[in-house]
């Protein structure tokens, strides 16, 4: 039996066999790269990953090729706050993949600041990347999928903070709550295009970048709120993304799926 406090990595089961995938903010060691790795392990025929950091993106493309053996891996720089770059990314992926079957909107930005001390610039930046960026990617992807007429799937990355409160996270929580609302509303419109849109809502996914940026005391406090006394591995969140991207979730749209063992 799997030890829930020390889970074993789950191998692929062909959930995305023959599908093509585009993932934003997928370079580095977080949920995005975990999702990219999982997509390949689940049998996708090709994948495009994007990020805003060129060096990290190139390294991630090379790593993905080397670790999975898939040659149909491409990278493309994209800042999701820029409509021109968003369109360029989707067009690039459409060309390389001969049509995008699955879009995973992973781009998001969080900082820590009490609302009473927060300036407009910090609030607006978090909202623009996390909520507006997801909207821009979804909007143009739907336009492309509509024109192609073959349907598709979009999976968004939200957060349990879209439902729950946490000090110094008003901007991030507001953005993620917006992603949830966007998912629900866009899904109703997308259903007419044979496109499903769902989202995951992780509570706490621990990765090296988070450990560098978040105070150790805060991480311990957050991990203490989880039933297993730990944060999720990034691949555990990616597993649920793969379910939502696959035909196993064919009846689901507009849903927000918690990836959480949070007690409070």
Four-CA torsion 154, 155, 157, 158, nearest 10 degrees = 90
Query: What is the phi/psi pair of residue 188, to 5°?
Result: -65, -40
Contact 93, 115 (CB under 8 A): no
How far apart CA 186 and CA 191 sit, in angstroms, is 9
H/E run at residue 154: strand 152-157
How far apart CA 30 and CA 19 sit, in angstroms, is 22
Q: From the candidates 9, 140, 172, 248, which is the catalytic residue?
A: 172
In the beta sheet, which residues pair with residue 259?
202
251 in catalytic set: no
In the beta sheet, which residues pair with residue 77?
51
Q: Catalytic amino acids?
A: 172
């Amino acid at each position: 039996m799997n030890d829930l406090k020390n889970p074993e990595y789950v191998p692929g089961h062909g959930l995305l066999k023959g599908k093509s995938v585009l993932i934003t903010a997928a370079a580095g060691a977080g949920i995005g790269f975990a999702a990219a790795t999982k997509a390949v392990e689940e049998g996708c025929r090709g994948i495009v990953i994007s990020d805003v950091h060129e060096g990290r993106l190139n390294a991630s493309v090379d790593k993905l090729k080397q670790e999975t053996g898939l040659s149909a891996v491409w990278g493309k720089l994209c800042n999701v706050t820029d409509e021109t770059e968003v369109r360029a990314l989707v067009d690039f992926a459409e060309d390389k993949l001969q049509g995008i079957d699955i879009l995973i909107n992973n781009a998001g930005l969080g900082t820590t600041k009490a609302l009473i001390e927060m300036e407009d610039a910090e609030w607006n930046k978090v909202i623009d990347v996390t909520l507006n960026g997801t909207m821009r990617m979804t909007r143009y992807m739907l336009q492309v999928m509509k024109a192609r007429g073959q349907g598709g799937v979009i999976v968004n990355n939200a957060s349990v903070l879209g439902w729950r409160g946490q000090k110094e996270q008003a901007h991030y929580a507001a953005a993620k709550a917006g992603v949830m609302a966007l998912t629900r509303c866009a899904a109703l419109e997308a259903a007419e295009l044979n496109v499903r849109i769902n989202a995951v809502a992780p509570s706490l996914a621990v990765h090296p970048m988070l450990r560098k940026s978040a105070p150790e005391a805060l991480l311990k406090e957050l991990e203490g709120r989880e039933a297993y006394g730990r944060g999720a591995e990034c691949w555990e969140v990616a597993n649920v993304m793969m379910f939502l991207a696959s035909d196993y979730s064919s009846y689901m749209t507009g849903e927000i799926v918690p990836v959480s063992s949070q007690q409070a």
